[in-house]
Amino acid sequence: MRTEDLIKALDADARDKAMPLDKAWWLAVGVAVVIAGAVFFATIGPRPDIMPAMHTMRFMSKFVFTLVLAASAFALIRALSVPGASTRRRMAWMLAAPLLVVLAVVLELFVVPEADWGKRLIGSNMMICMSFIPLIGIGPLAIFLGMLRYGAPTRPVLAGAVAGLLAGGLAATFYAAHCFDDSPLFVATWYTIAIAFLTGLGALGGRFFVRW
């Protein structure tokens, strides 16, 4: 069988599933949000001063970063789970969240005295961030890897990595409601490392559990 014929056959198989793949992805995200929320509220929960914090730009900017990451990763992973689907434009959108973070960091460096840069970067919840973003995201990651098996990704390692980014963006969104460190310097460093852990775990999952 030629490669083109195989891709068409896989695509037809994905479309003939009991539930349409696109609808299944939306359902999977809904379940993942519930699981992540349950873990979040059962463990650390939101910060006590969340209402006044919501009136500050630094606090709200964290949600912009994490939600843009989650949204762009969701768009890409849906395409990656269908053989032959175009991914170029969606891959480009994956740059949106990192660029926003870089812009915020540059602005932070301009408005914060240089003597405070290190303090803002280290923060006070580094280890909590590094622990709870993966903890909140591990359940959603398992769901997204299962969804990739429901589809037929031709690049399972990449698809698994994007599943990790999606889980990481979702987990970081919840964690941001708890985090007392609102500086973009902190977010750019420790959120990124925590999400990178889930991304690597997702790539491994794609390598061993999604490949066909």
Instruction: Look at residue 151 in the predicted model and tell me its pLDDT.
Output: 78
Q: How many CA atoms lie within 13 A of 53 on its CB side?
A: 19
Contacts for 148 with CB less than 8 Å, ≥ 6 apart: 77, 80, 81, 156, 159, 160, 163, 206, 210
Domain boundaries, the chain: 18-44+58-208
Four-residue CA torsion sign, 15, 22, 210, 37: negative
Q: Is the pLDDT reported for residue 91 higher than 60? A: yes
Q: Is the pLDDT reported for residue 14 higher than 70? A: no
**SS3 assignment, position 130:** helix
In this structure, are residues 210 and 171 in contact, taking their beta carbons and an 8 Å threshold? no
pTM of the model: 0.89
pLDDT digits (tens, 9 = 90+) for 170-191: 999 999 999 999 999 999 999 9
Q: Regarding predicted confidence, which is higher, 43 or 210?
A: 43
Compute the distance between CA of residue 171 and CA of residue 133 in angstroms, rounded to an integer: 5
Per DSSP, 170 falls in state H
174: its two tokens: 């919840």
**Residue 40: closest CA among 175, 204, 184:** 175
In this structure, are residues 157 and 201 in contact, taking their beta carbons and an 8 Å threshold? no
pLDDT digits (tens, 9 = 90+) for 29-40: 999 999 999 999
19: its two tokens: 């539930």
Residue 127 Cα distances to 57, 145, 191, angstroms: 24, 27, 11
pLDDT band at 153 (very low <50, low <70, confident <90, very high): confident
Q: Can you tell me which residue has the tokens 């209402």?
A: 51
**Residue 36: closest CA among 160, 163, 175, 129:** 175
